[in-house]
């Protein structure tokens, strides 16, 4: 359930509201391309600007639309442990397969706080937990030692590593056997070299089959062949990560490809005009735009 190519699904908006019709189309596109898992209402899904009611509606819609054909790992994290538990309870109620739990943000807990936060969620709801370590977004992150302690907690099954540090991932791998999933598209193959089992991918919103082709080879142990996909995907992955804050570039790309509206919610703003030419060129060079 927690290996291979999993898409960090965008949340499409139209005139300020969630565009559920487009959301259904995006899910169908992912299913047609045999994606290994769908991860809605995470960072890419703009969860910080969704109300809890909206977040729950998206969870329920995605689980229903997927219909059990792929695992659904819903974003249910919060900087409030009580809120994270509430969202996780709802995720189980609607049939999600697991939850993605981001490290608490802004309040900057100590390592003991991270441990107690995730342990409380895992013990409160009988649903697998994927930890999400992304200190660049949250202001603080877990140490490998804390991750290893959490790996001993029942229901905590995997970690989305978005620290950008191979040393961090290597140390986690040396301390415990938790499943390591890349949180950065450009690092999926490098992480595989130290035991990573896949990616929760932003770029899979537009090229799910290509991301899956690479992760299939990784899971087969053929890192040499996977390297060819890494090279092909690299420029596209870097554009999604460096042109602007995620999900600004991926939404601009999807609009260029007529897949979804570009609309974001404040404080996210559209991709700057001067960067659109670079994104368009990247899409053209990849073969997505003529």
Q: Is 132 a catalytic residue?
A: yes
Nearest residue to 59 (alpha-carbon basis) of 47, 44, 48: 47
Query: Residue 180, SS3?
Result: strand
Neighbouring C-beta atoms of residue 241, cutoff 10 Å:
19
> By the 8 A CB rule, do 4 and 212 touch?
yes
> By the 8 A CB rule, do 251 and 264 touch?
yes
* b/e map 47-73, b = 16+ CB within 10 Å: beebeeebbbbbbbbbbebbeeebbbb
> By the 8 A CB rule, do 121 and 81 touch?
yes
Neighbouring C-beta atoms of residue 237, cutoff 10 Å:
23
Rounded Cα distance, 206 and 211, in Å: 10
* Of 119, 160, 197, 251, catalytic: 160
Q: Which two tokens stand for residue 282?
A: 């990247």
* Of 115, 132, 197, 251, catalytic: 132
Q: How large is the greatest C-alpha to C-alpha distance in the chain, in angstroms? A: 52
Q: Is 160 a catalytic residue?
A: yes
**Which residues are catalytically annotated?**
132, 160
């Amino acid at each position: 359930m927690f290996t291979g190519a999993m898409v960090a699904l965008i949340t499409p908006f139209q005139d300020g509201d969630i565009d559920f019709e487009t959301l259904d189309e995006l899910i169908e596109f992912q299913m047609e391309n045999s994606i290994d898992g769908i991860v809605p209402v995470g960072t890419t899904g703009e969860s910080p600007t969704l109300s809890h009611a909206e977040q729950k509606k998206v969870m329920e819609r995605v689980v229903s639309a997927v219909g059990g054909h792929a695992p659904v790992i819903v974003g249910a994290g919060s900087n409030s442990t009580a809120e994270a538990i509430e969202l996780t309870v709802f995720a189980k109620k609607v049939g999600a397969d697991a939850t993605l739990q981001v490290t608490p943000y802004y309040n900057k807990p100590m390592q003991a706080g991270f441990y107690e936060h995730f342990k409380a969620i895992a013990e409160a709801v009988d649903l697998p937990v994927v930890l999400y370590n992304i200190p660049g977004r949250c202001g603080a992150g877990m140490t490998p030692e804390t991750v290893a302690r959490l790996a001993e907690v029942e229901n905590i099954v995997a970690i989305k590593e978005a620290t950008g540090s191979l040393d961090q991932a290597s140390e986690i791998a040396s301390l415990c056997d938790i499943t390591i999933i890349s949180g950065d598209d450009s690092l999926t193959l490098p992480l595989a070299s130290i035991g990573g089992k896949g990616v929760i991918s932003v770029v899979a919103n537009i090229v799910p089959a290509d991301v899956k082709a690479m992760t299939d080879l990784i899971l087969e142990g053929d890192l040499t062949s996977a390297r060819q996909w890494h090279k092909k995907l690299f420029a596209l992955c870097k554009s999604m990560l460096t042109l602007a804050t995620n999900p600004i570039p991926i939404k601009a790309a999807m609009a260029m490809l007529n897949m979804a509206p570009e609309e974001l919610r404040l404080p996210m703003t559209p991709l700057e005009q001067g960067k659109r030419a670079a994104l368009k060129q990247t899409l053209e060079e990849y073969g997505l735009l003529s």
